[in-house]
Chains A and B, each alone.
Chain A
Amino acid sequence: MTALNEIKKSLLVSIWFMFLTFPIMVIKVNTVEQTISWRWNRLAAVGIGSFCLSFVWRYMLKRKETGAKKTALGNGGELSAVQRLLQNPRFFKPALLATAVFALIYPFYFSMYQVNIMTTALIYVILGLGLNIVVGLAGLLDLGYVAFYAVGAYSYALLHIHFGLGFWACLPIGAGLAMMFGIVLGFPVLRLRGDYLAIVTLGFGEIIRLILENWNAFSYGPSGIANIPRPGLFGMHLTIHQSLIYIYFIMVAIVVFTIFVVRRLQDSRIGRAWIALREDEVACQATGIDKTKTKLSAFALGATWAGMGGVVFAAKTTFINPASFTIWESVMILCIVVLGGMGSILGVILGALILMLLPEYMRAFSEYRMLLFAAALVVMMVFRPNGIISAVRRNYEFKGTNEKETA
């Protein structure tokens, strides 16, 4: 009986989606030649696809509900298998070692193309970790994150053109400038409520992009800036191949540095304040935490990492233009954080690697990547808001003071 009911439900869903997608999926108009092609096979695909998916969807919804009930009863907080594995030092240490060895030998065993892709992925790792401070820890939805990335990239390009500064000088300067931008922009907007903040940061991001696009005298407009030098190594002459390997190692170092810093931040007075702010802003203030300062520190630190990423990006591609810094780039980085797991360092790293590498290695799928990421955003929000690997809170060590206990 229930099975029949389920099938009926799915059938209705499938009919509904066939209706919904009919004009846009099936009919394709050629407006030049005034011809129409009908692509009926797509209708069938949508029908079958949505029929099957609707079972999965309902099953997952049901599972989520029972899951919610279980946590409400008090046996929640269970760690997933991955987390348990990670907390086991017998697994964790060798895994860490293997990762380190792999990262070190990677550029010597793989092609230049793959080294390049991996470097890009690593840039997204630090962008993700930076945004994770803002979104994942402090709970501030920043849709203009890419603006700080642009600040970093353009600082390097422009400082190089006008003052001849090199990569190593520009890395801290770019990061610092991005941080200053973060503070200056953050100050007026951070008192806004969460969703307004998202829109205002989006607005700021777009303003910066549009200025870069229109202010030719400053930024060279839409055509961008070319011939940005790759990083130098004690004045040695490097071939392109060597340069790429060098940048790869620079990125590995920056990633390690980032993980180190973020880990320490997250377990500190400031880090706890960020999380508390995300949990409940009013309670946070009433508990004596300066909301503005705390938000600003998260926002500015996030921006710093974006600035750093921007400098490396400019050095790696040797060419930048405003088209690299659209709002969808911000959304992409947001995807990394959300998919990986807000607040979870390992999750964000995995998220960045999956999102950046998968489309490269599965060519067939790369055309659909934005579509799939978009769907993933929705699905994750609905079914797994904590991401692939959810953040774990640390347990602190302390001594009990038994004599004070009143029995």
Chain B
Amino acid sequence: MDYFMELFLGGLTRGSIYALIALGYTMVYGIIELINFAHGEIYMIGAFTALITISVLTMLGLNKIAILLIAAVAAIIYSSAYGYTAEKVAYKPLRSAPRLSPLISAIGVSLFLQNYVLLAQTSDFLPFPNLIPQFKFLKAYGGIVQSSEIVIYVTTAIVLVILTFLIKFTKLGKAMRATAQDRDMAMLVGVNVDRVISFTFVVGSATAALGGVLIASHIGQINFYIGFIAGIKAFVAAVLGGIGSMPGAVLGSLVLGWTESFFTGYISSDYEDVFAFLFLVLILIFRPSGILGRTDTDKV
């Protein structure tokens, strides 16, 4: 039972991180129907920015929690800035291009950012300090769950609440939903579509950055390539839940996190990544609209 619990909580941790990344995919897809291939790299940039900030601040000798918070803020700011810039440079000029053009462009951005970090920093894995304090009350549970995992759950939950509020109740959120429904119509009724799209990239990037900082603290190391696999898996989660749907992204992430965790825990860990890809292929073939997505007929 303890083992089951451990796998369950481990799956929840994975799922939460996937959710933070998957939200960005789903929001961007919902608005401009682009699979933002570079989204994983935005998350990686967040993790690197955090690591650099932490290293600098540690040498200045600040308090650990303060360092962590500042690093998280820096990661959010920088990831958002990268997401914003990528959209402006590589996707915006392609709004009216054939559908594959922005996708190819996104692959370019992804490859560019990977190599940019590789060249400017290093190809080695860098240790990422865990600055999350050990919670005393967890001792009672015999180490089934670490404090970093608790922080991950709580942060993800808070992010979800904030995002839901943002989308349901703010003016920008309404504009986002309108744009997702019908971009031309939204433009007609006076929504500044460019701004909405930029905003979507910023919000998606910010949540991804948070995911980056949290998972890096939890796992303890990063390199330039972490964005790719995490990005693909989060994408799987988004598709699983029904791309374009935000509750879907969260649900899909949790389902993927748990399946992965139980699969590797009970069956085999050799084929962990194969499993995620297989999952992706099977969903797309048998239920491309995902768990919560609607089966729409493309308008002709």
Contacts and interface: CB of A to CB of B under 8 A. Distances in A.
Interface stretch (A206-214, A245-253, A393-401): A206-214
Interface stretch (B204-212, B247-255, B273-281): B273-281
For B33, B55, B110, B270, which residue has the most chain A Cβ atoms within 10 angstroms?
B55
Given A19-B81, A36-B55, A382 B273 contact: no
Interface stretch (A23-31, A95-103, A293-301): A23-31
A193 B295 CA distance: 13
Contacts of B97: 381, 385
Given A29-B51, A31-B55, A374 B109 contact: yes
Using C-beta atoms within 8 Å of the partner chain, give the interface range for chain A: 35 or more
B280 A199 contact: yes
B121 interface: yes
A256 interface: no
A378 B109 contact: yes
Given A31-B55, A34-B59, A370 B115 contact: yes
A357 B281 CA distance: 36
A204 interface: yes
Contacts of B35: 195, 198-199
A338 B274 contact: no
A214 B270 contact: yes
B105 A20 contact: no
Contacts of A328: 111
A378 B87 CA distance: 11
B37 to A, nearest CB: 9
Contacts of B110: 374
Interface stretch (B5-13, B88-96, B183-191): B88-96
Interface string A324-349: 00001001001000100000000000
A258 to B, nearest CB: 23
Nearest to A141: B100
A113 interface: no
A21 B103 CA distance: 24
A257 interface: no
Given A16-B85, A194-B100, A381-B108, A189 B51 contact: no
A139 B34 CA distance: 17
A67 interface: no
A214 B274 contact: yes
Interface residues of B, number: 61
A371 B116 contact: yes
For B59, B104, B288, which residue has the most chain A Cβ atoms within 10 angstroms?
B104
B165 interface: no
Given A24-B116, A31-B127, A210 B274 contact: yes
Nearest to A202: B232
Contact of A331 (B81, B99, B107, B278): B107
A199 B235 contact: yes
Contact of B104 (A23, A141, A207): A141
B277 A375 contact: no
B130 interface: no
A106 interface: no
A378 B59 contact: no
For B115, B126, B288, which residue has the most chain A Cβ atoms within 10 angstroms?
B115
12 contacts: A34-B55, A36-B56, A36-B59, A200-B285, A203-B284, A204-B277, A204-B281, A214-B270, A370-B111, A370-B114, A381-B94, A382-B93
Interface of B: 33-35, 45, 48-49, 51-53, 55-56, 58-59, 74, 78, 81-82, 85, 89-90, 93-94, 97-105, 107-112, 114-117, 119-121, 126-127, 232, 235, 239, 270-271, 273-274, 277-278, 280-281, 284-285, 288, 300
Interface of A: 16, 19-21, 23-25, 27-29, 31, 34, 36, 42, 61, 64, 139, 141, 143, 188-189, 192-196, 198-200, 202-204, 206-207, 210-211, 214, 282, 328, 331, 334, 338, 367-368, 370-371, 373-378, 381-382, 385
Given A194-B103, A199-B239, A377-B108, 11 more contacts: A23-B48, A24-B45, A24-B117, A24-B121, A27-B55, A195-B33, A195-B35, A334-B104, A334-B107, A370-B115, A381-B94
